[in-house]
Amino acid sequence: MKKKTLKAAFTATIPIFIGFLFIGLAYGVYMNAKGFNYIYCTLMSIIVCAGALQFVGVELLVSAFNPVYAFIMSVMINARHIFYSISMLDKYKDTGLKKPIMIFALCDETFSINISAKISDDMDEKLYYFYVTCLVFFYWVFSSFVGGVLGGFVNINVTGIDFILTALFFVTFINQLIESKQYVPSLIGLISSFICLIVFGRDNFIIPSMIIILIILTVFRNKFDKGEVGDVENDI
């Protein structure tokens, strides 16, 4: 059972590994351009383990020390993990000592795979989630290491290179939208963000939109879990 579960998790995460290789290369080149070698790239990925924040973190490291600003930026960039955590509450129950690792390494890609996983009866469901989490975490650390090493041998203009992470987020979101039978939560997120963007402006819309989304999804959580809202098959 363990081997089949591991094989299934590995198969599901191969596309993530390929994507991370490109992002890790971009991240390594970016960090080297700012004066940090592969050791810092690797340590950042192990300790921080948040792709978008790590790109922003490079600028925080080379700018004036401002812990309050760094904290606010971290909250704004990673606030979406609140929703990931809420969605994974039931799936991560009764996982024992694996839970802290699964919580720490939860990211966009891990969430996308685990939330929509179709696990057969001959596999260990909880172990599958754990394997996916560990594999994705390893991919990111390994890719950052490779990118950091290769980044020491290249010298290119890194302007806009951090957009590669935005592209991966977009692809992950589209894949999750296709795999999921419920479109309403995604629409709630998009509409709430768009309204807050108009009301609060580009620099201040993230936190208000996250609060609104959190309230709506919390209030209607039971209906989403039961598939009563936005279930395509039930609506047809």
Together in a domain, 33 and 75: yes
Residue range 34-87, pLDDT digits in tens: 889 899 999 999 998 887 788 888 888 888 888 888 887 788 778 778 777 877
- What 75-84 contacts at long range (C-beta under 8 Å, 24+ apart), as own/partner pairs, is 75/207, 76/206, 76/207, 77/50, 77/52, 77/53, 78/50, 78/52, 78/53, 79/206, 79/207, 79/210, 80/108, 80/210, 81/106, 82/210, 82/214, 83/213, 83/214, 83/217, 84/108, 84/111
What residue numbers bound the domain in which 211 lies?
A: 181-231
Tell me whether residue 175 is in a domain.
Answer: no
Nearest to 164 by CA among 44, 25, 68: 25
Does residue 176 lie in a domain region?
A: no
Shared-domain flag, residues 9 and 126:
yes
Q: Are residues 151 and 187 in the same domain?
A: no
Do residue 90 and residue 206 come from a single domain? no
Regarding whether 58 and 155 lie in a shared domain, the answer is yes
Task: State the pLDDT at residue 128.
Answer: 94
218 with 148, same domain: the answer is no
For residue 6, being part of any structural domain is answered with yes
Domain count, the chain: 2
Regarding whether 57 and 158 lie in a shared domain, the answer is: yes
- 8 shares a domain with 46: yes
Please state the pTM of the whole predicted model: 0.73
State whether 91 and 203 are in the same domain. no
Indicate whether 10 and 124 sit together in one domain.
Answer: yes
Q: What backbone phi and psi angles, to 5 degrees, belong to 99?
A: -60, -50
Token couple for 190: 């998009």
3-state secondary structure (DSSP) of residue 231: strand
Let me know whether 32 and 143 are in one domain: yes
pLDDT by residue (tens digit) across 91-127?
Answer: 898 888 999 999 999 988 898 889 888 888 888 899 9
